[in-house]
Amino acid sequence: MSKTGDLLRRWHQGDPGALGELVAEDAAWISDHVHRRLGPLLRRRQDTGDIVQHTLVEVLKAGPRFVVEDRGQLRALLARMVENVLRYHARHDRQQKRDVRREIPAELSAASDSVLMLVPSAAGPGPATQAAAAETRDWIRLALQLLDADDRDVIVWREMEERPFAEIAARLGISEAHARVRFQRAVPKLARKLEQLRQGQIDQALET
């Protein structure tokens, strides 16, 4: 087993020290990576490093027990999530300033029960489903971070925040009809990434 795999295994088994090692090993590389890709977008931000580290901790601490083949795959997965979070902040910075610990999008911290309805396998009644639903929330939270900003926002706004399509359309600068279509297209994208992550198909899940 690779060192990365061993650290993930230890973390999943409740070893708090493993989380610190995972973050310490890859935070600097991921920060450099996203700066190379998003440099102009981040020039006015002074807290990018804090956001990178906080995002990594939140993903690893609250995320499901995903499996990666090696350190490169883990880095690619985490870098994509961090990049999307930073794009989210750059996009919404024009609206208001927030404390760094409030800047992680809501879908990273919690997935509402309504989103579970997007995944039929976790929507049925019964005691066994409660455990499945809790696990699915973790996977949804992870999969949402791999969607592009518009797809992620339209799902969060519609399913988690229960905003009307008219408001979503205004936020995205598109027609209400287009907002409905975007939502209808975003849902299967989320379901596909969810299934790929569950199956350990990390490379496929990272494809746009």
Q: Give the integer Cα–Cα distance in Å for 86 and 79.
A: 10
138 pLDDT band, cuts 50/70/90, is confident
Neighbouring C-beta atoms of residue 174, cutoff 10 Å = 16
CA-nearest of 150, 144, 50 to 91 is 150
| Percentage of the residues of the chain whose pLDDT score is greater than 70 | 70
Residues 6+ positions from 149 with CB-CB distance below 8 Å: 84, 87, 88, 91
**Residue 130 or residue 148, greater confidence:** 148
**Residue 179 or residue 197, greater confidence:** 179
pLDDT at 100: 40
pLDDT at 182 over 90: yes
Q: Which CATH number fits domain 108-208: 1.10.150.130, 1.10.10.10, 3.40.640.10, 3.80.10.10?
A: 1.10.10.10
pLDDT at 51: 72
Q: Give the integer Cα–Cα distance in Å for 12 and 57.
A: 13
Cβ atoms of 40 and 22 within 8 Å: the answer is no
pLDDT at 104: 43
- Pick from 59-73, 98-112, 145-159: least confident: 98-112
Query: What pTM did the predictor assign?
Result: 0.67
pLDDT at 88 over 60: yes
Checking phi first, is residue 176 left (phi over 0); if not, alpha (psi -120 to 50) or beta?
A: alpha
pLDDT at 169: 95
Measured over the CA atoms of residue 101, residue 107, residue 113 and residue 119, the dihedral's sign is negative
The residue type at 110: A
Domains of the chain by residue range: 1-104, 108-208
pLDDT at 141 over 70: yes
| Percentage of the residues of the chain whose pLDDT score is greater than 90 | 12
pLDDT at 93: 61
Residue-wise pLDDT for 186-197, tens only, equals 999 998 988 888
Checking phi first, is residue 36 left (phi over 0); if not, alpha (psi -120 to 50) or beta?
A: alpha
Residue-wise pLDDT for 47-60, tens only, equals 667 777 777 777 77
The residue type at 26: D
pLDDT at 206 over 60: yes
pLDDT at 42: 61
pLDDT at 46: 55
Residues 6+ positions from 122 with CB-CB distance below 8 Å: 116, 129, 132, 133, 135, 136
pLDDT at 126: 54
